Amino acid sequence: MPEVAKNILALVVSIIVVHLFYAGYVWPESAALIEASRAAGQSAPRNIVVILKDWEQEIAIILMFWGLYLIFEKSIAIMRERYLFNVDLLDGNGTTEEGDMAATLKTLEDLPEKIRRAPLVRTLMASLRRFLITQDVHNTSETIEASVDAMAQKQEAENSLIRYLIWAIPAIGFIGTVRGIGEALSQADQALAGDIAGMTESLGVAFNSTFVALLISIVLMFLLHQLQRLQDGMLVDTQEYCESFLLNRISAAGLSKADQNTGGES
């Protein structure tokens, strides 16, 4: 399934699950608590269902679950490919003859698509193609650096949606703040007459939405930073792997060939 379709499906599932939870538990429970407090002449209690009852909080929670899916899906994909760094994908080939390197490239290209799409394997294939064309170690090293930079830019672009969610959730909370304060001001006459229940409930909407939204954004920001640590570590490991398993071998092969040529001339 394409990545865009999976992301949209995750959003739809989040909407359905959270809305069912609200319709089945949060709204009935909060309505009962608020009604009981009104009958007792008290303000609405600071219960979790009362804090979560408004639609701004519902949207924020939906986006939270969507953001969690995006973060964990990328994190699991990175951790699932970590084993590749412990495997010699070149398998001892490509060290002496151009034909061996061509065979190594063909072996990498014949790997299952899921493995072939791994950033490490893509970098190795691009580097091997460059070396087969140029027969130059320096050009191969530049190809590795360019591939790693391209991966970093790709990861940055993919994380932009998560960053948007982290920005959008507090914005939705501020919308609830504005809505609650507006409702509270519209009931100023009742408050002056001695009935402050409506005003306090509206102010509760304002503060609760901001509180929930900011709390969710803090959690998502922390998880995003952990994801970025994983991504940066993968980029560093990719470059080190290519230098250790590819550049060192082709450099040694070049020196060995030069020595052979020198010995032949002498």
Reference 43, options 195, 213, 212; nearest CA is 195
Compute the distance between CA of residue 237 and CA of residue 219 in angstroms, rounded to an integer.
27
Side-chain-side CA neighbours of residue 2 (13 Å): 3
Reference 142, options 38, 43, 254, 239; nearest CA is 239
Domain assignment present for residue 96? The answer is yes
The pTM of this model reads 0.82
Reference 104, options 81, 83, 131; nearest CA is 131
Domain assignment present for residue 23? The answer is no
Question: Confidence band (pLDDT; 50, 70, 90) for 190?
Answer: low
Domain assignment present for residue 106? The answer is yes
Assess whether pLDDT exceeds 80 at residue 201: no
- Cβ atoms of 74 and 119 within 8 Å: the answer is no
For residue range 95-140, what is the model confidence (pLDDT) as tens digits? Answer: 445 557 788 888 888 888 888 888 899 998 888 888 888 878 888 8
Could you tell me which residues come within 8 angstroms of residue 10 by beta carbon, excluding any fewer than 6 positions away? Answer: 66, 69, 70, 73
Domains contained in the chain, number: 1
What is the rounded end-to-end Cα distance, in angstroms, of the chain? 62
Domain assignment present for residue 73? The answer is yes
Domain assignment present for residue 52? The answer is no
Domain that residue 106 falls in: 68-265
| The pLDDT of residue 202 | 66
Compute the distance between CA of residue 67 and CA of residue 211 in angstroms, rounded to an integer.
18
Question: Confidence band (pLDDT; 50, 70, 90) for 193?
Answer: low
Write out the DSSP string of 171-188: HHHHHHHHHHHHHHHHTH
Domain assignment present for residue 54? The answer is no
Domain assignment present for residue 36? The answer is no
For residue range 18-57, what is the model confidence (pLDDT) as tens digits? Answer: 999 999 999 999 888 888 877 776 766 778 888 898 899 9
